[in-house]
A and B are shown apart, each in its own frame.
Chain A
Amino acid sequence: MKIAFKLAFKNLIGAGLRTWLNVAVLAFCFIVIVFYNGFLNGWQNQGRQDAMDWEYGHGQLLHANYNPYDVFSIQNGHGNLSAEKTEDLSAVLVRQASVYPKGRMNPVLLKGISIDQKVIKLPIKLLAQSDVEFPVLIGKRMAETLKVKAGDQVLLRWRDKNGTYDAANITVEAIFESKVATIDNGQIWLGLDKLREMTGLTNEASYFIAHEAYQPTAIAGWEFQALSTLLKDFDAAVQAERIASVIIYSVLLALGLLAVFDTQVLSIFRRQKEIGTYIALGMTRNQVLKIFTIEGSMYSIFGGIAGIILGAPLFFYTLSQGINVGSEIEGMGVQFADVIYPTFGLTLLAGTFVILVFTATLVSFLPARKISKLNPVYALKGRIS
Chain B
Amino acid sequence: MKYIIAIFFTIIFALQLSAQDATEILEKVDDNMNSETSITKSDMIIYGRRNSRTVTSVGYAEGKNKSFSEYLAPAREKGTKMLKLEDNLWIYSPSTDRTIQLSGHMLKQSVMGSDLSYEDMMENRKLTEMYDSEVIGEELIDGRNTWVLQLTAKVVDASYESRKIWVDTERYVPLREELFAKSGQLLKKTELKEVKKIDGRWYPTKMNYKDMLKDGKGTDFVVLEIEFDTEIPAYIFSKAALKK
Contacts and interface: CB of A to CB of B under 8 A. Distances in A.
Nearest 6 CB-CB pairs, A to B?
A103-B215, A167-B185, A167-B181, A166-B182, A100-B213, A162-B157
A168 B104 contact: no
B141 interface: no
Interface in B216-230: 216
A227 interface: no
18 contacts: A72-B105, A96-B105, A100-B213, A100-B214, A103-B213, A104-B214, A157-B181, A157-B185, A162-B156, A162-B157, A164-B157, A164-B181, A165-B159, A165-B182, A166-B183, A166-B185, A167-B213, A168-B185
A282 interface: no
Interface string B14-49: 000000000000000000000000000000000000
A72 B103 contact: yes
B89 to A, nearest CB: 14
**Dominant secondary structure at the A interface:** mixed
A164 B215 CA distance: 23
Interface string B175-191: 00000011101010000
Interface string A70-103: 0110110000000000000000000010101011
Contacts of B105: 71-72, 74-75, 96
B211 interface: yes
Interface string B98-109: 000001111010
B134 interface: no
A164 B182 CA distance: 7
Interface residues of A, number: 21
Interface footprint category on B? 20 to 34
Interface string B160-188: 11000000000000000000011101010
B112 interface: no
Interface of A: 71-72, 74-75, 96, 98, 100, 102-105, 155, 157, 160, 162-168
B11 interface: no
Contact of B187 (A96, A160, A167): A167
B153 interface: yes
B158 interface: yes
Interface string B199-213: 000000000000101
B214 A103 contact: yes
B211 A105 contact: yes
Given A75-B104, A75-B105, A100-B214, A167 B183 contact: yes
Contacts of B104: 72, 75
B215 A104 contact: yes
A157 B183 CA distance: 10
Most chain A beta-carbon neighbours within 10 Å: one of B105, B161, B215: B105
A71 B108 CA distance: 12
A168 B216 CA distance: 20
A248 B72 CA distance: 54
Given A75-B104, A163-B159, A166-B182, 4 more contacts: A72-B106, A74-B105, A103-B214, A165-B181
B103 A164 contact: no
Nearest to B115: A105
Contact of B213 (A157, A160, A166): A157
Contacts of B157: 162-164
A105 B108 CA distance: 13
A155 B160 contact: no
Nearest to B108: A96
A164 B158 contact: yes
Interface in B110-159: 153, 156-159
Contacts of B216: 103
Nearest to B179: A165
Nearest to B213: A100
A128 B211 CA distance: 33
A104 B183 CA distance: 21
A21 to B, nearest CB: 60
A157 B153 contact: no
Nearest to A103: B215
Contacts of B183: 166-168
A155 to B, nearest CB: 6
A74 B187 CA distance: 23
Contacts of A165: 159-161, 181-182, 187
A106 B213 CA distance: 11
Contacts of B153: 164
Nearest to A168: B183
A165 B106 CA distance: 16
A186 to B, nearest CB: 14
Nearest to A157: B213
A163 B158 CA distance: 7
Nearest to A158: B181
A103 B211 CA distance: 10
A71 B211 CA distance: 23
Contact of A160 (B106, B182, B185): B182
Contacts of A74: 105
A166 B153 CA distance: 13
Contacts of A98: 213
Interface in B57-80: none
Contact of B214 (A75, A105, A160, A167): A105
Nearest to B184: A167
A98 B214 CA distance: 11
